């Protein structure tokens, strides 16, 4: 699984988590009037569980709030940045904290065998 695919799945986390919670095999949703569909298979479930593991062990309160708002609730970065708990952060700090967390999830995916050597070298 390529890095872009993992980040795509995390960007669609609210829809995937809802499908998993409802025991559906497919997450159907529309974004900007474009219908999308993600099949919930073992690799998607594993990425989501690794994301939730990383989130549950995160100790930085700003990072936790960023991820809760932007990934788990599906808010845009600007919407998240204007939350009272995060409005003291600069845009660069916000982006760095978010990217560092997403890189941690990617590293967990590598550790658990979801990313092949070719994906790392060519992606």
Q: Which residue has the higher pLDDT, 46 or 32?
A: 46
Q: How confident is the model at residue 3 (pLDDT cuts 50, 70, 90)?
A: very high
DSSP output for 98-118: HHHHHHHHHHHHHHTT-S-HH
Each domain of the chain, given as residue ranges in start order, spans 3-113
CA–centroid distance for 7 within its chain: 6
pTM, entire model: 0.90
Mean pLDDT of the chain: 94
Q: What angle do CA 113, 48, 32 make, to 5 degrees?
A: 120
CB 15 within 8 A of CB 24: no
């Amino acid at each position: 699984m390529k890095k872009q695919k993992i980040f795509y799945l995390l960007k669609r986390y609210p829809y995937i988590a809802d499908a998993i919670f409802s025991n559906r095999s497919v997450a159907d949703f529309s974004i900007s009037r474009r219908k999308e569909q993600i099949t919930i298979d073992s690799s998607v479930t594993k990425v989501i569980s690794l994301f939730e593991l990383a989130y549950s062990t995160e100790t930085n309160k700003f990072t936790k709030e960023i991820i809760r708002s932007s990934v788990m609730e599906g808010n845009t970065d600007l919407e998240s940045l204007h939350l009272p708990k995060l409005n003291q952060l600069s845009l660069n700090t916000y982006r760095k904290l978010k990217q560092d967390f997403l890189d941690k999830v990617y590293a967990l995916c590598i550790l658990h065998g979801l990313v092949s050597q070719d994906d790392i070298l060519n992606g």
